[in-house]
A and B are shown apart, each in its own frame.
Chain A
Amino acid sequence: MAELIIPAIVSCIVAFFTVYVTTPPLIKFLQKRNLAVKDMNKKDHVMVVRPGGPSIIAGIITSELVLYGFFQINEILAIIITSFIAFVIGYVDDRKVMGGWFKPVALVIASTPIIFLGTYDSNLSFPLFGTVQIPALYLGLIIFMIPITGNTINSIDVLNGVASGFMIIASFSLSIALFILQNYEIAIISLPLGFVSLAFYKYHKIPSKIFPGDSGALTLGAMYGAIAIVGHVEIIAAVALLPAIINSFLFLSSMKRIVEHRQIKGKPVEHTEDFKLKATSDKTAPITLVRLILASGPLSEKQVGYAIFKLTIFSGILAIITAFMRVLI
């Protein structure tokens, strides 16, 4: 255990400062190229640059390579390659408008390094009840898991700071769960995700200076999914991710198909005169987590963000309880 402390500290410092240092020049570069979009939830005409994915992937790759220098295990390579493929897919979508099917289908490719490097265990562990061996079914689970985690994080990236803030809470909950399960190596491998998100949150929090874009959100989500698989904590990871899963579930169950946000005609949320967010009564609009939060009355963007964080902390606590339940087996 003691020999793991130095790699853990070094990789966390590298993860945090890589993003912290590279994001300001990235913002300037994107401003020069005029790669900015309007922040729809601001009263004034505010333009915010995107995507922040390049600094996020830089933080992930450098910190994980540092860890690979300490322990040469395939799990680290699987996480790096999966995250990088997700970044490329997201970057393509950032630069070129693709159909709603593109990201879920393309992210299947991002899950293949986990399979080819053999960094999974087909025993699915459930709290209290034990494990079930599902070799054929588990391969399907891997193929589905990366697109699901990638897209759920992307779909919750709707307000300033929400995607990165959400990822901080969910990933640290997952790391704590891995420590509880005494899966120390993977726990340490998972820490950079939280620190990368923490550093990016500095620039993404309200008022945002940069948006992560599809490249940033998919990278964070795919890395989270890869950690869940190589760490054998799929169920715990799903519990920590529940608010984002609810968001995707609500969206899909109301729209009945995979569709990009920009293709939706009905507006789920509108603004009041003082520019607070308010749920609409438009029946053609999708039901989303934000719309559900706003159902009881208008709130500011910051208040909605904090409401999502409270839900994420709650699900993070449930994930940690789930980890303790697994220890009881």
Chain B
Amino acid sequence: MKIGLFGFLFVMWILILAGGGILVTILGPFSISGYGDFDLLLTSILKAIIAIILVIVWILILSKLKNWIFKKEIKS
């Protein structure tokens, strides 16, 4: 098994921490104003879209990493 899967777990953990940092520092204080009753709804929708984009980026990074580890493990 070597170090590959432990490294994969560690990178996942770092990505979770980094994602949390982005959510709290950028997404948390973010709000839209000027649309009256729709402010909260629009803010929520935008936050949801950004969060989904973050998850997609997270999955793409992990996919690349998975392919790299899997190929490396087979070669060794």
Which residues from chain A sit less than 8 Å from chain B, CB to CB?
A: 124, 126-137, 140, 235, 238-239, 242-243, 245-246, 249-250, 253, 287, 289, 292-293, 295-296, 307, 310-311, 314-315, 318, 322, 325
Please indicate the chain A residues that have their CB under 8 angstroms from the CB of B51 in the complex: 134, 137
Return the contact of A287 from the options B8, B25, B59, B70 (Cβ within 8 A): B70
Which residue, of B20, B69, B73, B76, has the highest number of chain A Cβ atoms within 10 A? B20
**Number of residues of chain B lying within 8 A (CB) of chain A:** 32
Please indicate the chain A residues that have their CB under 8 angstroms from the CB of B70 in the complex: 287, 292, 295
Does the CB pair A126–B24 fall under 8 Å?
yes
B65-76: CB near A (< 8 Å → 1, else 0) gives 010011001101
How far is A292 from B63 in the complex, measured between Cα atoms in Å?
Answer: 14
7 A-B pairs with C-beta separation under 8 A: A129-B20, A132-B24, A140-B48, A243-B9, A245-B12, A292-B70, A296-B73
Does the CB pair A296–B23 fall under 8 Å?
no
Number of A-B contacts (CB under 8 A): 91
How far is A260 from B29 in the complex, measured between Cα atoms in Å?
Answer: 41
Does the CB pair A318–B9 fall under 8 Å?
yes
- Interface of A, helix, strand, loop or mixed by DSSP: helix
How far is A311 from B6 in the complex, measured between Cα atoms in Å?
Answer: 7
Does the CB pair B28–A132 fall under 8 Å?
yes
CB distance from B42 to the nearest CB of A (A): 11
Does the CB pair A246–B28 fall under 8 Å?
no
Q: Which residue of A lies closest to B24 (CB)?
A: A129
Does the CB pair A128–B48 fall under 8 Å?
no
CB distance from A155 to the nearest CB of B (A): 16
Within 8 A of A (CB), among B18-76: 20-21, 23-25, 27-28, 44, 47-48, 51, 59, 62-63, 66, 69-70, 73-74, 76
Does the CB pair B9–A293 fall under 8 Å?
no
Does the CB pair A235–B16 fall under 8 Å?
yes
Does the CB pair A136–B9 fall under 8 Å?
no
Please indicate the chain B residues that have their CB under 8 angstroms from the CB of A245 in the complex: 12
